[in-house]
Structure 1
Amino acid sequence: MSHYFKLFWKENCIVIGLLFITGLCQTFVSVWMASALDYLVDQDLRGFLMVVLRILALFIVYLIFTHFQIVKISQAKQKMATAIRTDITTRIEKTSYNHFHDRQVGTYVSWLSNDIATIEVTAFDNLYQMLTGLIGSLTSIVALFFFHWSLGLWTLVIGGATILLPKIFQKQMGEASLFATKQSEHFLSHVSEYLAGFDTLFSYSLLNRITEKTKEASLALADAKNKQAFVVANVSILAILGNIVGQLSIGALTGYLSWVGIVSIGAFAATTNLAITIFNTIGSVSNQLSHIRAVRPIFEKFETIQEGDGNGHTTLTSQERGIRLKQLSYAYGEKEVLNGLTYDFALGGKYAIVGSSGSGKSTLLNILIGKLTDYSGSVTFSNQELNQLSGKALRDSILYIDQAPYLFSGTIRDNITLDEYFPEEALTQVIQEASLEDIIDKLPNGLDTSVGEAGRLLSGGQRQRIALARGLIRGKDIILVDEGTSSLDETSALKIEENLVNNPDLTVIMITHHLRDSIKEKLDGVLALS
């Protein structure tokens, strides 16, 4: 966490400066209160009123700087929170396909929302509160030495003991915090999964499962948070005990010094206020430090995202040769889906992959696009082993079109361009190649029509056409199509497939369960898997 405070050191220096000013204001108020009481004892009304006016002016200054302090703390917190989120997503950018899917999407969402919120409240807020207290305590201790050296020295002794005692529970605090965050992740991913499956549960009249599973996950989360609260309570009790002993002892010592005539009677009011500031801070510091340290496992968890895209770092030197499979095998655990497959895909060729469900068709395409790199045997692209090529270099040359494409909330245009710039001419061309004209012409806003959440306002066939246009506009030479026209009507599917196989610049490898005769006769090969 210290990394982010150093990263935004200017913002945090401004905050510390404001905290110092407000801390000085509070300390001077306490010291001047002693003078006000002494003037009352001496029945000096004029002197008393002058001190009251000074205190009033100081309070106005305090309020002005407190306003700036609150605003600047919020700005610094949000800059640091944004930096943490950016670091997490940057690591996600660099991870491999398999490593990303080691966790559910809901887990990553929980990291970026719940965990960052926890860091803001548990770490950042506690740190700024601790700094506020420490600065106020520092100026208060200096003021106590001003009254008498024994008051300052005794405060340091009792304060040190109060800080050390709660460290007994430091390890338990960290473990309880980590367990609570894991249960929070589990809750979010579990609930997200069942809410995402609303349509399926609705079809089977099982919507009550949403309530049942939410309650089950909520009880587990509540148990984790209750255990965390138990540890926090132990830390708090020790802190409160030290607070009570410190305030009472300073009051008693000041009373004695006043009785023997070393300090004035008014000093009792001042030192009591100063002791409250100091020991409230010290009583809170241990608890605050425990909370701050408790987020360390959260940061360590973020670092478990393995960087590296799962491929080698070799760049693609050329595309002079096609894709060659030699004794290629792949297994999911004990289940082998590809066994000793040998085949060549020439550049510019058009190929179909056919076979029954479970024969390894989609697995083969996932290997060719670099999603699966733990295969045995050999797969070469332009005589370079696929798992030695960098994933980015591979995907810059090969386009993969999924049979169930994902659309983002936004417009059709947004989903084709994916926030990249393409000229209108290019958009018009791919709309024709993907047979989207008839759809777009019927929509009131054309390309700028919203597709709804995950494309729910469109049919499966319309989503497939948008995904095809998304791929074609990027001008890649090799296209892998996994049942990319399965949701289309016969006429549209045939038109799109003909556009692909008639393009001499494209290498096309497509999975299909329905290989049309008119398309088959134009292919350079059909790979049948069983």
Structure 2
Amino acid sequence: MYMFKYIKHFWKDNLLVGFILFGGAISQTFGSVLTASAFNALIAFDLQEFVVITLQMFIVYMFFLLFTYLQIVKQNQAIQKMVTAIREDITIRMEQTSYNGFHEKQVGTYTSWLSNDMNTIETQTYSGIYTVASGIISTITSAIALFFFHWSLVLWSFIVAGLTLLLPRIYQNKLGEAALATTQENEQFLSKSNDVLRGFDTLFSYSKLKKITLDIKEASLKLANAKDHQARVTGKVAILGALGNVFGQLSTLALTGFLAFRSLLSVGSIASTGGLAGTIFNTVGNISQQIASIRSTQPIFDKFESISFDKNSGKDRLTELNDGFVLNNLGYAYGEKEILNDINYSFNLKDKYAIVGPSGSGKSTLLNILNGKLTDYTGSITLANKELKQISGKDLREHILYIDQVPYLFEGTIRYNITLGEEFSEVELKQAIIDSDLEELVRKLPEGLDTSVGEAGRSFSGGQRQRIALARGLIRGKNCILVDEGTSSLDEESAVKIEDSLLNNPTLTVIMITHHLRPSTENKLDGILNLT
């Protein structure tokens, strides 16, 4: 991603901001020029001329204030559009990444990208670019005004301005490194904070809540050190720019005085040239720092590119299921630890299966492979006579539903957590509620389906959350359902009812993991895969 890509995309908004900046610069410069005329009127004791010029200055500065207001409003609107577009591009890349690709980074890292990094881009990148643009426009208008006083003032101003711009480049690379280090520490701080705060219940049970303070303090100190280092480097850049600024203003004042002594300028000109030169050197002093600061954010844009695309995206299409899963010499390992080895089995369409075995035997790993989450397996798996890892992940999940052990509920209502914002008829919704044994729960709640589930579903028990997750899957009418202990948190009666609903459906292919295979369930299965 490149920072200027978004400026080009929203060129109309940015062009409007440019016109506003130009209007503000013109009014400010015109006001400075009028200052010379006001001083000359005072020196000549011409009261009428002085009053007229003062009124003109008032009108000019009212326009300047109007342009300033418009700049604040329109600049913010343009920045928010660009930042929203960046967030959208990041999340689109997340949509297109693989399961493993997404989990290469912690959720806290992505959260930091979408919050802390966006704040940095707002304040350092785009606000900085507008500051630079404003400075360039002000410098041009001020230089034109100085030229009408005397050409030597313009020449000298640009010589000193060039030196002022060159000085901060000494620390350009160091500033970029410091900015990147700060964003990385921000990511680590968010990750550590999320991790320890999510463990509140566990720490509470063990009377170890002090760990929250210790861990967050440790992460905060590391972040503070990174920000302190960045501030030191930024400070050096600012001082170098300010040094050129001070020298430029004083030397221009001296040159104006010299020209006045030579009768090449009016005495009142010293009031305007000082202000105009001040605009140039203040601008150039800030520009040097801003340019370095803007460039230092490029590594932030670069790291957004690190989200890998799903290699299976756009490969073999899966339009319909005409054959089930066939496993040949299937193997899988996490690093050097072998989990599955030489598995040979077939799951036929519309049949019902259970996967059993001791903990650590690879049951959940197998379901994650069948669901397309894990593609780095050895051996072969075919679905509809196509190699599984070559099938488009999106197409695969159009036919297959995976229900895991700990279903996640989004903050919102029961209805939203079932539909996920998609449109379903009331008939479809009601049937999903019945099939997942949610009917009685919904009936007892005063707000029914519009009851809030709380943060991550904390308002409901584990069993109730699993029922909502089941309803979420059943309403989508998938052909094949993979259930990883999907009824483990339910009471016996509810578990049997839901399992019967799945196993008695002649159109479904069901593959479930269970640690407790009931005789009533076993009798309805077409096969059992025992992983030992």
TM-score range, shorter chain: over 0.9
Distance 1:40 1:123 in 2: 45
1:95, 1:310 within 8 Å by CA — same for their partners in 2? no
Which stretch of structure 1 is more off in the superposition, 314-323 or 201-210?
314-323
- Tell me, what secondary structure is at the counterpart of 2:190? helix
- The letter of the residue matching 2:113 is W
- CA-CA distance at 1:126 after TM superposition: 1.6
Distance 1:45 1:202 in 2: 79
After TM superposition, where is structure 1 displaced by more than 4 Å over at least 4 residues in a row? 309-312
- Tell me, what secondary structure is at the counterpart of 1:258? helix
- The letter of the residue matching 2:86 is I
Q: In the alignment, is residue 484 of structure 1 matched against residue 486 of structure 2?
A: yes
Q: In the alignment, is residue 356 of structure 1 matched against residue 358 of structure 2?
A: yes
- Tell me, what secondary structure is at the counterpart of 1:19? helix
1:97, 1:309 within 8 Å by CA — same for their partners in 2? no
Residue in structure 1 matching 2:382, options 376, 380, 383: 380
2:463, 2:487 within 8 Å by CA — same for their partners in 1? yes
Q: Which residue of 1 aligns with 2:274?
A: 272
Distance 1:226 1:144 in 2: 41
2:402, 2:483 within 8 Å by CA — same for their partners in 1? yes
Q: Which residue of 2 aligns with 1:101?
A: 103
Q: Which residue of 1 aligns with 2:132?
A: 130
Distance 1:135 1:341 in 2: 71
Q: CA-to-partner distance for each residue in 1:105-157, whole Å, 9 max, x for gaps?
A: 01100000000001101111222122222211110111111100111111111
Distance 1:430 1:56 in 2: 71
Q: Which residue of 1 aligns with 2:335?
A: 333
- Tell me, what secondary structure is at the counterpart of 1:69? helix
Q: Which residue of 1 aligns with 2:142?
A: 140
- CA-CA distance at 1:310 after TM superposition: 4.7
- Tell me, what secondary structure is at the counterpart of 2:350? coil
Q: Which residue of 2 aligns with 1:233?
A: 235
- Tell me, what secondary structure is at the counterpart of 1:370? coil
Which stretch of structure 1 is more off in the superposition, 322-331 or 227-236?
227-236
- CA-CA distance at 1:318 after TM superposition: 3.4
Distance 1:229 1:424 in 2: 58
Q: In the alignment, is residue 254 of structure 1 matched against residue 256 of structure 2?
A: yes
Q: In the alignment, is residue 410 of structure 1 matched against residue 412 of structure 2?
A: yes
- CA-CA distance at 1:313 after TM superposition: 1.3
- The letter of the residue matching 1:49 is V
- The letter of the residue matching 2:341 is N
Distance 1:312 1:383 in 2: 18
Q: Which residue of 1 aligns with 2:399?
A: 397
Distance 2:373 2:248 in 1: 63
- CA-CA distance at 1:312 after TM superposition: 6.2
Unmatched 5+ residue regions in structure 2? Answer: none
1:398, 1:478 within 8 Å by CA — same for their partners in 2? yes
Q: Which residue of 2 aligns with 1:164?
A: 166
Which stretch of structure 1 is more off in the superposition, 138-147 or 62-71?
62-71
Q: CA-to-partner distance for each residue in 1:171-211, whole Å, 9 max, x for gaps?
A: 11100100011001101111111011111111111110010
Q: In the alignment, is residue 12 of structure 1 matched against residue 14 of structure 2?
A: yes
Q: CA-to-partner distance for each residue in 1:58-92, whole Å, 9 max, x for gaps?
A: 11111122111111011001101101100110101
Q: CA-to-partner distance for each residue in 1:422-470, whole Å, 9 max, x for gaps?
A: 0000111111111111111111111111111111000111111111111
1:325, 1:379 within 8 Å by CA — same for their partners in 2? yes
Distance 1:26 1:311 in 2: 55
Q: Which residue of 1 aligns with 2:44?
A: 42
Q: Which residue of 2 aligns with 1:84?
A: 86
Q: TM-score normalised to the size of structure 2? A: 0.99
- CA-CA distance at 1:308 after TM superposition: 2.1
Q: Indicate the RMSD between aligned Cα atoms, in angstroms.
A: 0.9
Describe the shift of the 1:309–1:109 C-alpha distance in structure 2 as closer, same or farther (beyond 3 A).
Answer: farther
Distance 1:49 1:450 in 2: 68
Q: Which residue of 2 aligns with 1:501?
A: 503
- The letter of the residue matching 1:301 is K
2:101, 2:310 within 8 Å by CA — same for their partners in 1? no
- The letter of the residue matching 1:482 is D
Q: CA-to-partner distance for each residue in 1:458-504, whole Å, 9 max, x for gaps?
A: 01111111111110110111000000000000011011111111111
- Tell me, what secondary structure is at the counterpart of 2:315? coil
Matches within 5 A, 1:62-77: 62-77=64-79
Q: TM-score normalised to the size of structure 1? A: 0.99
Q: Which residue of 2 aligns with 1:201?
A: 203
2:332, 2:377 within 8 Å by CA — same for their partners in 1? yes
- CA-CA distance at 1:309 after TM superposition: 5.7
1:322, 1:381 within 8 Å by CA — same for their partners in 2? yes
